[in-house]
Chain A
């Protein structure tokens, strides 16, 4: 199947630090993006999304930035906590009305030390 992004990196941070997780996508026609968090043995959980007509969106402690010029997404987590430790995936929506599919990036493992 299709994939977005590069090989899986690991980001290690200290509790209280800000974390930045990056993702490169390949389809310039993608118009909607989602960040998910996945804990071991569970399905992905929605964190935040952004449409292609925006370049920034903020949630609670999280911010997503979209740079369409270089096809790059980032997820910023403020004041990272041990409970944030998980694998984070970006996903892009490909397609238009009638048929769309959601393709995942390779993911980043976030390790938060107390």
Chain B
């Protein structure tokens, strides 16, 4: 399958700082990227959907100003957690979907964020 690279895999940051997570599709062009958050032993909760060149569409309850998503190119999307707090600690996973309707989405390896 296609490869999606997510970086960093782990990050520890201090409260009040911002953290950027990158998601790259390595061998295909991703018109759509999804960002998920996952708590231990729970499912993936969709945070936002971004289409290249457009503003991200956020799910209800997800703060746009806190979780900044940029999808500036067909191979790169970034999620910035601004002014992080301990409750933002979680596993964040990106997914990329190639051009086309109803195609599979490929996932990155996830980023474990710990805010201290």
A residues lining the B interface (CB < 8 Å): 1-3, 5, 8, 31-32, 34, 36, 41-46, 49, 51, 89, 91, 93, 96-97, 99-107
Contact = CB atoms under 8 A, between A and B. Distances in A.
Contacts of A31: 102
Given A43-B108, A44-B44, 5 more contacts: A1-B47, A1-B59, A36-B107, A42-B110, A89-B43
Contacts of B41: 8
Nearest to B101: A97
Interface residues of B, number: 34
B93 interface: yes
Nearest to A34: B104
Interface in B70-116: 91, 93, 95, 97, 101-102, 104-110, 112
Nearest to B59: A1
Q: Give the dominant DSSP class at B's interface.
A: strand
Contacts of A5: 43
Interface of B: 1, 4, 6, 32, 34, 36, 41-47, 49, 51, 57, 59-62, 91, 93, 95, 97, 101-102, 104-110, 112
A41 B36 contact: no
A2 B59 contact: yes
A102 to B, nearest CB: 5
B46 A2 contact: yes
